[in-house]
Structures are given as structure tokens and as C-alpha cells.
Amino acid sequence: MNKEMPQDDWAPRSEAVLDDQIASYDEMRRRCPVAHSEYLHWSLFRHEDVVRALHDHHTFSNAASSHPSVPNGMDPPQHTLYRQLIEPYFSAERMAAFEPVCRDIAVKLVDGLPAAGEVELMAAFAEEFALQAQSAFLGWPAELNEPLRRWTRKNHAATLARDRNAMEEVAFEFDGYIRALLAQRRAAGDGTPSDITACLLRERVADRLLNDEEIISILRNWTVGELSTMSASVGILMHYLAARPALQQQLREQPSLLPVAIDEILRIHAPLIANRRITTREVEIGGRRLAAGERVTLIWASANRDEAVFGDPDDFRLDRDPSKNLLYGAGIHVCPGAPLARMELRVILEELLQRGCRLQLVPGKEPVNAVYPASGFAALPLRIERE
């Protein structure tokens, strides 16, 4: 007997939703907080429901991908083994060692901005920072930046279209880049550099070395997450400050406020729209009954704006309880790369603000919103004025 499919409550790929994702998710949270669609299956919009799914990994499994995903697509105990392996790569010691490299990248990009005038910040600055910082962190050559930029865009397009063949091709293309890097490091023998990519070749799990498929999956997860969300975050932050000169000046004068201000701005406008889960058993959530095996989409961009937790979702406050902010998730799958992302965002804003750049909106030129699975802006015209 075929399972009866629920009627769709909304259309995630409709023009109205993609035109303004944040406003659309706000409306869904109030109207239908647990909603079904053919494209995203079941979507959770409320903070309470998303937090419940995050902490109940026995019911809401992370093994939602048809491809191996280390460790994002795993549940305990398998997840625990790999998580313990990767967490040291984001330790305070590694962040302190990488910060000068990251700052050098930021300084060069800020100094490369025009002394005065209009610039499209996404391609010329935000995407470039994400690419350069990620390549430097992983020990990848600069010549890989442009292929990675094209790959990220193809990955977004394939995900939006839910084109399985295109998604397979994109994954295969990325795998090729990484296999070549691994082969180079193996061929170098004792001369292998001590970068993160080389270090992964020496990592062991369950008394054996990681195999290439596991290393590729780890690096793919880091790269997909880092490139898209980092460039989106930089764009969101720059637009937010350009629209609020007083806040921009306050952070210029009080840079110690940057970490909490960055997290709050990215709560208001999420750089990552959603993650997936799959139910392992029948469950009732938000007044809807989901069967075992249902695919679930956790809408971060809505949960972090829930009025029941944050009041007016657009109210910028520096005194919020940080434990409520789901910017980097929660539970056993909380983002291991959060220390890296926080450091990179702090550094890029420190250099922008302290090196005399005043960000201004361009009258008559609106930014172009990015569309699912991306967030932030596809194009961001801003005016730069130097002090």
C-alpha cells in the first residue's frame, strides 16, 4: 500500500520566496511552522522545533545524504570517531597560528579596494577573501582558487535544480582536484609539506589510516561550508554596516565589540539557509506527524529570527544569550569550524574598519539577493570612502 503524500504547504522555489528568502521564511514560521513541500520535504521554521531536532539525533538522523559525508552525514558512534579526529584542526592553537596568515590576506584585499568610488563587493572582495583564506588554511595552491570559484557556483546551481546528474558531476570534479593534491603530497615523500591536507594523510581512525574517499569527503564538507558561507557572511556584514553608519563608527571605535556584533548580524540575516535530517521513527513535531524515513529541512534562517526567542527579529542587540544563537548549530553536530569562521570574520572586519574604509550604500542600486541554497547577496554594489 502506497503511503499517502501530504499536500504541499508552500513552494520553496517560487519567485516570491527566492526574491526575499528571509521575509518568506518569517511568514512561514508564523503561518505554518512545520511545512511540507515537494522540494524540501518537511521544513522546520521555529527555534523550538529546530533545537529539538538538533538535540534528538536518535530521531532526526544526520545520515540524510546518498553520498558518504564525513562526519556531517554520520550518527554516533561512527560520528564520534571522526569528530574527535577533526576537532583538533580548529583548536585555539591552530587558530592563533593561522591568524597572521589570514590577516595578511585581509590587509592585501582591503588595500586593493579603491581609494574612493563604487565597487561590486561580492566578486571583488567577499568571494576572493573566502577563496584565499580557505586555500591558505588547507595548504592549497593559489591556482586552484578560480576552479574552486566556478565549482562553488556549479554546486549551488545543481543543488537548487535538484539535478542529480549535475550534482554527481560536480562532486566528481571536486574529487579530481583533491585526488591530484593527495597524489602530489604522497609523491613528495619526506618533503611533504606539513599543511592540513598532508596531515590528513597521516590521520588514523579505528587503527587504520584514513582512505582517500574519507579525506575527500572531509575536505569537501569543509570547502562547501567555508566558501559559500564565508563569502555570504562577509557580504551580509558589509551591507549591514554600510546601511548603519552609526554602528559602523561604534565598531571602528570599539573593535572589542566585533565578535558579538558579528554573531548578532548573522543571526538577523543568516549566511546558511538550511541543513537536512531524516527521521528514524515516527515523530510528532509542531502539531504534524512525520513517518519514519521522512526528509526534514532545518531552516536556520528562520529559527534564528523566531519572535518567541528573540522578540523583534530585526532588533540588533549586543546583550543576547549566545546559547540561543544557532548560527553554528547546536548539539553533537555543532559546526567544528566555528572558531575558524569567527576568527576570519573578525579579522576581515578589523582590517576594513581600522584601515580607513567607510562603507556606504549606493543610491539607486540595490544588491541582488542570492537564492537557495545560498544566502546573502549575489551582487553587492557599495561605495568606499577612505579617511
* The most confident of 131-145, 161-175, 270-284, by mean pLDDT: 270-284
pLDDT the model gives residue 58 = 95
Q: Which of these ranges, 7-11, 178-182, 244-248, has the smallest mean pLDDT?
A: 178-182
- CA–CA separation, 338 and 327 (whole Å): 9
What cell was used for 269?
A: 540575516
Domains and CATH numbers, the chain: 15-386 (1.10.630.10)
Model confidence at 249: pLDDT above 90: yes
Mean pLDDT within 228-253: 97
| pLDDT at residue 222, rounded to an integer | 87
Q: For 142-163, what is each residue's pLDDT tens digit? A: 888 888 888 877 877 777 777 7
pLDDT bucket at 2, cuts 50 / 70 / 90: very low
Cα Rg of the chain (Å, integer): 21
3-state helix, strand, coil in the chain (%, to 5): 55, 15, 30
- Least confident interval from 49-53, 222-226, 281-285: 222-226
The answer for residues whose C-beta is within 8 angstroms of residue 99's C-beta and 6 or more apart is: 343, 347
pTM (two decimals): 0.93
% of the chain with per-residue pLDDT over 70: 98
Q: What is the pLDDT, as a whole number, of residue 164?
A: 76
Amino acid at 336: P
pLDDT at residue 375, rounded to an integer: 94
> What is the DSSP code string of 164-227?
HHHHHHHHHHHHHHHHHHHHHHHHTGGG---SHHHHHHT-EETTEEPPHHHHHHHHHHHHHHHH
Q: How far apart are CA 327 and CA 336, in angstroms?
A: 12
Q: Which residue has the cell 549586543?
A: 318
pLDDT of residue 3: 55
Cβ burial of 292 (10 Å; 0-12, 13-18, 19+) is: exposed
Count of positions (residues) in the chain? 387
Name the strand (E) or helix (H) holding 281.
none
**Which stretch, 123-127, 155-159, 339-343, has highest mean pLDDT?**
339-343
pLDDT in the model for residue 12: 95
DSSP 107-157: HHHHHTS-SEEEEEHIIIIIHHHHHHHHHHHHT--GGGHHHHHHHHHHHHH
Compute the average pLDDT of residues 290-298.
97
Q: Which of 156-165, 224-233, 268-277, 373-382 has the lowest mean pLDDT?
A: 156-165
Bridge partner residues of 385 (DSSP):
116, 358
Contact (Cβ atoms closer than 8 angstroms) between residue 238 and residue 248: no
Using CA atoms, how far apart are residues 117 and 382, in angstroms rounded to an integer? 8
Of 361, 285, 243, 379, the closest CA to residue 48 belongs to 285
Whether the pLDDT of residue 282 is over 90: the answer is yes
pLDDT-above-90 percentage for the chain: 75
Average pLDDT, the chain: 92
